[in-house]
Amino acid sequence: MDPSELYTVWAPRVTVAAVIERDGRFLIIEEETDKGLRLNQPAGHLEAGESLAQAACRETLEETAHPFLPEGLLGTYLWRPGGEAAPTYLRFAFVGAAGDPVPGRSLDEGIRRAFWIDADELRARQAEHRSPLVMRCVDDYLRARASGRPWLALDALYTHPAILDKHHG
């Protein structure tokens, strides 16, 4: 093996998602993708200067117009949508509550709508999911809730102050 290969840094793309359930229904977005309209949790990429929880709050507000109050970490998920050359995504899925939508707030470009759907309806529409992580996160949420397993506390996700900028926190 070439010694330079030993020091190649692999860097997955870091994303966040919000799993929000209210009265048996989940907040989902419908978004335009290169493969047509797809369903997803409010989700997106971690930006410089923000913590993982801040990213989940920002993405939820941008994509749904609902403020998000994270309560804990559901789990972390690694996924690659294609062959070895495709990027790998590292998703941090948060559980929490959504406030009422902010009146007059527009949704991010490419987001058609945000809506509430129950798990069975979502499962029936798996062909429309942005990734297999959509249903996996809902199923993990339902299993954890049914078993009484608590979410990982938010203080388990430490962000050094040098990372944070004044814009995000």
What's the CA gap between 28 and 70, in Å, rounded? 16
What is the overall mean pLDDT for the chain? 94
Tokens linked to 90: 């590292």
Give tens-digit pLDDT for 97-143.
999 999 999 999 999 999 999 999 999 999 999 999 999 999 999 99
pTM of the model: 0.92
Residue 65: HSE in the Cβ half-sphere, 13 Å Cα cutoff:
14
Q: What integer pLDDT is reported at residue 9 of this predicted model?
A: 82
3-state SS class at 25: strand
- Mean pLDDT is highest, among 83-87, 91-95, 157-161, for 91-95
Strands (E), the chain: 13-22, 25-33, 36-40, 43-45, 68-79, 89-98, 111-118
Query: Tens of pLDDT along 49-77?
Result: 999 999 999 999 999 999 999 999 999 99
By DSSP bridging, strand 13-22 and strand 89-98 are parallel
Question: For residue 68, how many other CB atoms are within 10 A of its CB?
Answer: 23
How many CB atoms neighbour CB 135 within 10 A? 16
Q: How far apart (Å, rounded) are the C-alpha atoms in residues 51 and 23?
A: 29
How sure is the predictor about 84, in pLDDT bands with cuts at 50, 70 and 90?
confident
Say how far apart CA 19 and CA 150 lie, in whole Å. Answer: 14
- The pLDDT of residue 4 is 61
What token pair was written down for 102?
């902010």
Alpha helices (H) along 25-132: 52-64, 119-124
Both structure tokens of 48: 């410089």
Give the end-to-end CA distance of the chain in Å, rounded to a whole number: 44
